[in-house]
């Protein structure tokens, strides 16, 4: 197994806990608290247990957090939905020319 990926130096455990308290999204708060545990000296296994995820997912959180900060740990948008039936039927109607 390789070496653990280090976390950004511009955040600390208390700062992430503060952000988690302010978060309106439970999933973002859970991710921030898991990373705060790592910043505080906890193991990644403990962070995975706290977040109720696998070590691989914690690794993904660390990579995303290191790349873009805490904003990327928020809610991910769903995939685009196909157009509704009504929109399709209106577009396909012939026009009177």
Higher-pLDDT residue of 52 and 68 is 52
Produce one character per residue of 42-51: b if its CB has 16 or more CB atoms within 10 Å, e if not. bebeebbebb
The 10s digit of each residue's pLDDT in 75-95 is 555 666 666 655 555 566 666
Could you state, in order of their start, the residue ranges of all structural domains in the chain?
28-71
* Rounded Cα–Cα distance for residues 21 and 88 (Å): 44
């Amino acid at each position: 197994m390789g070496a653990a990926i280090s976390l950004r130096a511009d955040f600390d455990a208390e700062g992430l806990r503060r952000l988690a308290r302010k978060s309106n999204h439970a999933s973002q708060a859970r991710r921030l608290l898991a990373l705060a545990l790592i910043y505080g000296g906890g193991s990644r296994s403990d962070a995975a247990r706290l977040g109720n995820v696998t070590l691989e997912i914690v690794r993904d959180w660390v990579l995303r957090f290191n790349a873009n900060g805490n904003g990327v740990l928020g809610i991910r948008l769903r995939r685009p939905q196909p157009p509704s039936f009504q929109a399709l039927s209106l577009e396909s109607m012939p026009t009177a020319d």
